[in-house]
Amino acid sequence: MKKESICTQRAPAPVGPYSQAVRAGNLLFLSGQIALDPATGQLVSGDVRDHTKQIMANLKAVLEKAGASLDNVVKTTIFLTDMQDFAAVNEVYGSYFTADPPARSCVQVTALPKGVPIEIEMIAQLD
């Protein structure tokens, strides 16, 4: 099966040997995003809600580069460093998936890159 890397300047550039997303057949695997501003490469300020909004904007930009949208997302994984943030993240995340939300896992981890409180990755099905 042929695979294709997806990259957009509207999302943060990879900081290691990985792609923002990889298309394999009709599936799109989006790498985990943290709350980096793609214009500056810096973390956004604010709380976990602000981080979640930036992450979703970054993921939407990658989806759009692949010709997809949040409607194509079939699975997400949310990584939190503090499960106490679960309700706040759910509030913001849920506003992006108002009907027919994707399957999801949410796990607490010890640490994330740059000391952020949240990272989100996605899998989408392309038409």
Q: Which of 61, 106, 112, 123 is catalytic?
A: 106
CA neighbor of 26 nearest in space, from 60, 74, 58, 98? 74
- Residue 73 β-bridge partners: 124
Does 7 participate in catalysis according to the annotation?
no
Q: Tokens 């993921």 appear where?
A: 59
* Alpha helices, DSSP H, located in the chain: 48-65, 86-94
Range of the domain at 40: 3-125
Our count of domains for the chain comes to 1
What does pTM read for this prediction?
0.96
* Residue 119: per-residue pLDDT: 98
The CATH number of whichever domain residue 115 belongs to comes to: 3.30.1330.40
pLDDT single digits (tens) 26-59: 999 999 999 999 999 999 999 999 999 999 999 9
Q: How far apart are CA 63 and CA 51, in angstroms?
A: 18
